[in-house]
Structure 1
Amino acid sequence: MKHGRDAQPLSVIEWVHRDDLYANNYNPNYAAKPEMELLKTSIVEDGWTQPLVARPDGEIVDGFHRWTCSGDPRIYAMTGGYVPVVRLLPPAVGDQMLSTIRHNRARGEHGVLKMAEIVRRLIDEEGMTPEQVMQRCGMEKEEVTRLYDRGGMTERGTQGKTEFSRGWSPKV
């Protein structure tokens, strides 16, 4: 365990040229094309907000997809091909693999109801069009429509009702 702020890898972020890094040969994580496009949009719109994690020799422990996106001409031009990197001391290969898995799994998953609330808020309260939500969140029209609809589903048709209709009651 590393104690103190100065002992944390994040205390030393380097700008490393992407060509000096390389993928590990065991990462089980895969991102489909829509997610990769969304990641590119995120970096283009927000800038680099998270460093890659690499061994001193340049092998990527975490951040393979960000590194892949850094080859996109728009992203490459932002920093001349340099990416932010945090280095890990050379752990044993097994420890490095565990680190990769922890980084991948710790990100969790998006809950549908929470996403529905966000989509509804972006459109109803933040004034975005469904097309803007589609583009900026990497969604298709059907997904935005379904999430938007789901965001109001629990309120719709329940005003003044205290119990379910007979159609919702199972027959005994």
Structure 2
Amino acid sequence: MSEWKSPVYGVRAVPIEKIRANEYNPNHVAPPEMRLLYDSIKEDGYTMPIVCYYNAADDMYEIVDGFHRYQTMLDHKDIYDREHGMLPVSVIDKPIDERMASTIRHNRARGTHDVDLMSGIVAELHKIGRSDAWLSKHLGMDMDEILRLKQLTGLADLYKDKEFSKSWKPGKEITDADITG
């Protein structure tokens, strides 16, 4: 009996033209997360291989997991050029039913972000001087999401050193002239 060896120890560089999507992946990634995936691959490179089944009959690799990493290379010439059109692939050799189950397991195992932990990260990055624009770009969040996460950690602390407009003073009644200018 041979010793078990995880597929990741046999990662190979495969030309993207020899890789194709499967017909059964129910996973969908929204445009903001696709932009974040592009940014991640652009900044960090491919850090995880695409999981594929090798179909020897037609000499093609069929994706089991990693479709969006594959799609990122197809959609972005800069990534394609930098990687010389090659994707890291780990191969599993399973029948179609087990590949389908693997796809679902991979999709579901990614989990979700804990809101309290994310708000703590946003607060910490804010404390070290990262702007909302930086957070938006590097964490893939829109400004409303950043504001909501800041609200969870306490706006007063996050904005204590900020300068605000002097146009209104507490206790002063707002008139129509104040609104219309």
TM-score by length of 2: 0.78
Q: Percent identity?
A: 39
Distance (whole Å) between structure 2 residues aligned to residue 150 and residue 73 of structure 1: 39
Task: Report the Cα offset of residue 152 of structure 1.
Answer: 2.7
- Opposite residue 101 of structure 2, the aligned amino acid is L
Distance (whole Å) between structure 1 residues aligned to residue 99 and residue 79 of structure 2: 28
For 1:151, which of 138, 150, 153 is the aligned residue?
153
Structure 1: gaps (5+ residues): 157-172
- Opposite residue 62 of structure 2, the aligned amino acid is E
Quick check: which has more Rg, 1 or 2?
Answer: 2
3-state secondary structure, aligned to 2:105: helix
Post-superposition CA distance 1:38-81 (Å, at most 9, x none): 10000001111100000112000000000000121121122111
Post-superposition CA distance 1:122-153 (Å, at most 9, x none): 1113x211111100111111111211221236
Matches within 5 A, 1:31-110: 31-57=29-55, 58-71=61-74, 72-89=76-93, 91-110=94-113
Structure 2: gaps (5+ residues): 56-60, 159-181
- Residues matched between the structures, number: 151
TM-score by length of 1: 0.82
Q: Which runs of 4+ in 1 moved over 2 A?
A: none
Distance (whole Å) between structure 1 residues aligned to residue 45 and residue 113 of structure 2: 22
- Opposite residue 109 of structure 1, the aligned amino acid is T
- Opposite residue 66 of structure 2, the aligned amino acid is G
- Opposite residue 137 of structure 1, the aligned amino acid is L
Equivalence for 2:136: 134
Post-superposition CA distance 1:91-118 (Å, at most 9, x none): 1111110000011101101111111111
Distance (whole Å) between structure 2 residues aligned to residue 93 and residue 145 of structure 1: 45
